[in-house]
Structure 1
């Protein structure tokens, strides 16, 4: 039989633990003279603790060992640690704290090994703090709390030395930070950073004070670019310092304090300096502007003042372009919506500002809105008699029309893309559409379009911008021409015996602009062909009515003169007038007007093309440079030109669109919007209805008075009615 294990008394067991374990650890910590514990020595100390913790009560000394473990840690701190730090300050204090913390960790590590059974059983069974936490708690109470103010003061002093360029061991500061975080587990186990916040708040305050002093000097002495450069360099250094010395959670707080002190407080002064934002923009200081953007982008509303300055600058540059055009108008004494140089200047300006916003402000949405706001104001001004809608439409016509300076397809595409970016800012897109439709019809009907692909591409771009309803007529016009060509080809194949080469384009009336047509007397060969086509069309279609628009016809007419034979390419009206001179050599203005059934405006316009153009086919009586009702006209028998084919100019028109048509279309659009909203809401207040109508209409900006007028019109037509008790409330009448 084995004998029972000998009971270990408390004092005897503790004496062995103290002498063979704790004293040896302390001796090493103080003298660095420690031979490793042998496996036998370690096992003996562990066994002593184990036996003292497993003996039957009252000889079970677990509770007493836990208390004596705590006392030994406390005694070590009071006898060996506190004397070393009590009279230290600044860097010396931080160095000693680091050494003491390291020694404390070693002490607890070895003692935990000896007392492992106690930690595993007694501590868990009695819900006590484990030995590591208990050791930290003692260090927290005996060292950190009593020296906290001195440690923080020393830490701040070391940071300021580092900021002033002195070499500081940043690892030392990082170790002190880690100590604050570690002992924070005692202060608040679920939020160890709470104790570290004492240190952090002091660091933030010192950061603010240090850079407030710096900023007051720099903002007075330095130019805007120099100030921004210094601030950026200091910010990089400060963030590096925070990364090396503080907990990662402090970095953003340091950054916020720094930017508030150096940028936010002084932003107005920085921007308004003589070398401020206006100077940077005017002198294209892209690096400095990008630096300003980087430093202000993290501030609440920090970018808004810069965006306002950018908007103002763009407007000033745009107004400069407009003033140049107005000065040119004043010198030339004439106005024309066709001004490619003016449009190019605006497109180049927009490209420049887009690059500026991309390069300096990283296409930030605030600056995108600033650009859009500036150009919306600029392109919705009226330049003399003509608005931007008309000017841009004429530029589009110039790009898409055949001309002597043939542009490459990729150049046309790029120019149309730039043009569309200006178009997007237009408030009166309906005016642009009306003008564009008229010009597109001329290009298509007169075969002067440079490229069908370019036409389709631009229409597609407008469709993406404004929707399918905006471009449906443009697309219908192109489709009409293809169908008309097929129909014309089939007609020619069915009637090859016509007296003249006769071509017809059958178009859908609703797609094309309205043209003022005169019921002129056509030559017999024309009218015979028209009758033949009418019969052919009636036989091949149902429920379709043809309306002949003679004013759009193109005729090639051969003339015989003393100097030879020439082919004239002219309009139907011009051809009919020239045909008259086959019967007699001279006609009065009144005779031509009556025979042709013209009004004065049309008659004078046609006759000008014969008398005042480069190729004068007719002679008139009188010396005045205008057509009078008393004039007579005769063929110039000695007409001569170097060209065998002569293209006669078409009668000019003052306006590219009908203002009345645009106004009528707007009224219909407003009424349609009101009805749609009323159908959906049934009942709505006046102010809400006006606001929703304005928001629904995207191709033009309706005036409030126009919306009110159309509401009254709909009330009079019984679409809606006012509330009996509140006149500002409307009800939909189904």
Structure 2
């Protein structure tokens, strides 16, 4: 059986030596170009960047490819194909996500789901980087004039709409569970949590803004619930000094360990949530507990 990389190489050579000839029909150039891209997608390779990273494309071939895309997307007689190129670009990511990413995520949950999302996001970012380099003339001319989402925004939004939005619930629950286990002293994959939350921070555009707000707000809400339960239990079991020591340890943990997961604007909110649940919400009870611990006999007489 012929190796898929060899097949792609042969097709690329034929494509670049013949189809990219200036006398080729523009529609044929477009169709063959995206046939090669789809072939690489279907076999798991990263489209045009596969050739580049594998050392298959010579400089002159890259020049031909860039020139063809330039001719198809700049304001000239071939510019009529710019819209088609733009639509094809978006379709590349839609088909890749539908055929490769979503099936890979199906059935996964908890940490396995997070790891697969991080891996697929990394692949998509690589694809986006290289395809944007080849198609950057669309950004410069067609997209700028039509005021459409940029190439990067288009691919990222496609991922969020087809992947992140659909898996947001399980992702949110998995992240909250990992953070809570860490609060209980368990070792977790911190890099994985950071990577998932970093996805929310990458180019906060389009639908991403809502997801970023929701995920970090969900962590803050879960933090409040977590420490509300802790406060109720500790108020019954701990002395005043023991309680305040536990509060100090919790604040240190949140500041040093959990807050780095969040965006800067939410790091302060995190500590405020902890203080609210552990201190402010029980201010009167804590004052009484302090008096009881300092003057136990006086409290006993008052009760009598």
| Correspondence for 2:231 | 215
Cα 1:14/1:277, change in 2 over 3 Å: farther
Q: Deviations over 1:537-573 (max 9, x none)?
A: xxxxxxxxxxxxxxxxxxxxxxxxxxxxxxxxxxxxx
TM-score (norm: length of structure 1) = 0.35
The partner residue of 1:252 within 253, 268, 271 is 268
Q: Distance in 2 between the 1:218 and 1:249 partners? A: 30
Describe the superposition over 1:701-729 as per-residue Cα deviations: whole angstroms up to 9, x where unpaired.
xxxxxxxxxxxxxxxxxxxxxxxxxxxxx
Deviations 1:80-121 (A, max 9, x none): 111111221111111111111101100111111111222211
Higher CA-based Rg = 1
**2:95 aligned partner:** 75
Which TM-score applies when normalising by structure 2? 0.80
Q: Deviations over 1:570-602 (max 9, x none)?
A: xxxxxxxxxxxxxxxxxxxxxxxxxxxxxxxxx
- Aligned counterparts, 1:105-504, within 5 A: 105-182=125-202, 184-187=204-207, 192=209, 194-273=210-289, 278=294
The 1:16/1:274 distance shift into structure 2, 3 A limit, reads closer
> Displacement of 1:9 after TM fit?
2.9
Note if 1:15 corresponds to 2:32: yes
Question: Tell me, which stretches of 5 or more residues in structure 1 are unaligned?
Answer: 281-734
Deviations 1:612-652 (A, max 9, x none): xxxxxxxxxxxxxxxxxxxxxxxxxxxxxxxxxxxxxxxxx
DSSP-derived class of the 2:205 partner: helix
Q: Is the 8 A contact 2:255 2:271 kept in 1?
A: yes
Distance in 2, Cα, partners of 1:58 & 1:105: 29
Which runs of 5 or more residues in structure 2 are unaligned? 1-20, 297-304
| Equivalent of 2:120 in 100, 103, 107 | 100
Distance 1:100 1:82 in 2: 10
CA distance in 2: counterparts of 1:263 and 1:129, whole angstroms: 47
Measure how far apart 1:71 and its partner are: 0.3
Higher helix share: 2
Q: Residue deviations 1:482-501, cap 9 Å, x none?
A: xxxxxxxxxxxxxxxxxxxx
Tell me the distance in 1 between the aligned counterparts of 2:79 and 2:137. 16
Say how many residue pairs are matched. Answer: 271
Counterparts in 2 of 1:102 and 1:217: CA distance versus 1, 3 Å = same
SS, match of residue 79 in structure 1: helix
CA drift at 1:159? 1.0
- In 1: Cα distance, 2:278 partner to 2:80 partner: 66
The alpha carbon displacement at 1:241 in A equals 2.4
Question: What residue in structure 2 maps to residue 65 of structure 1?
Answer: 85
Contact residue 224 and residue 277 of structure 2 kept, 8 A: yes
Aligned to 1:86: 106
How far, CA to CA, are the matches of 1:24 and 1:154 in structure 2? 32
Give the CA RMSD over aligned residues.
2.7
The verdict on how the C-alpha distance between 1:212 and 1:55 changes in structure 2, with shifts beyond 3 A counting, is closer
Aligned equivalents of 2:200, 2:78: Cα separation in 1: 41
Report which structure shows greater RCO (CA 8 Å, sep ≥6): 2
Question: What CA distance in whole angstroms lies between the structure 2 residues aligned with 1:55 and 1:248?
Answer: 43
**Matching residue of 2:300:** none
Does the CA contact (< 8 Å) of 2:26 and 2:78 recur in 1? no
